Structure 1
């Protein structure tokens, strides 16, 4: 896998419910996005990265499971100028599995919302789904 040199910002956030252990939610995010800075806010966990390599586990899953069309559909459907987003199942992420959600309700304790921003967002989408 060759990671392109494209400026980007990755943001991951999810609600933190009273019944959840904040450390386990942080683990869910760090399992999928290892090169991110994670912090707990009032009722959420937020992570950020400016490195596209933070997306390598998603990239590997997309290509090993042949889910390029699914990711392209979500990334293009949610595209707004230079930003796009999608949801991941928080519980699956805790056990290092990547499961995209169409609706937030598909993740019982709420999903991880992944937001990608870049002046070359089309290049990032192409890299994710085509490997370019």
Structure 2
């Protein structure tokens, strides 16, 4: 079973509605609640997968997902400022304004990564 968890801080200088809009731009099916300055909840990866194809960042996404594997989960930090315009940019550790933290958990994580961010050759998806 696949579980996608979303966590995103809302800083005092930020409008919670705009942070939620950034989350929804990447994860339109996200079900999140705001508590103590933090959005937490779950989402699907369908729109995320579409966006990384549109932006042609499959290799970068795959590398981030594989690099952060710990057991049966992986983690990505998505820049929330870039997300406001419906684009994906991966953030480094501890970005100044925080990031949308996405944790993906699956019993067969590599198969999930292969579906979401498949291997490419010369920029084209390789169908296995």
Q: Which residue in the other structure is 1:83 paired with?
A: 73
Indicate if the aligned counterparts of 1:89 and 1:111 stay in contact, CA closer than 8 A. yes
CA RMSD of aligned residues (A): 1.6
3-state SS in 2 of match to 1:101: coil
After superposition, what is the alpha-carbon deviation per residue over 1:19-63, rounded to whole angstroms, capped at 9, x for unaligned? 1111111111111111121110102111213xxxx2122212222
Per the TM alignment, residue 85 of structure 1 is displaced from its structure 2 partner at its CA by: 0.8
Q: Which runs of 5+ in 2 are unaligned?
A: 119-124
| Aligned equivalent of 1:116 | 104
- Name 1:128's counterpart in structure 2: 116
* Conserved 8 A contact 1:12-1:114: yes
How far residue 92 of structure 1 moved from its aligned partner, in angstroms, is 1.3
Residue matched to 2:25: 31
CA distance in 2, matches of 1:88, 1:104: 11
Question: TM-score if structure 1 supplies the norm length?
Answer: 0.82
**Partner of 2:6 in structure 1?**
12
Contact 1:16 1:43 in 2 (8 A): yes
Aligned-residue offset at 1:103: 3.2
After TM superposition, the runs of 4+ consecutive aligned structure 1 residues lying more than 4 A away are none
Q: Tell me the distance in 2 between the aligned counterparts of 1:47 and 1:92.
A: 20
Offset at 1:81? 1.1
Runs of 5+ in structure 1 lacking a partner?
Answer: 1-6
Contact 1:87 1:104 in 2 (8 A): no
Which TM-score applies when normalising by structure 2? 0.84
Per the alignment, residue 47 of structure 2 pairs with: 57
Give the superposition deviation at 1:121.
1.1
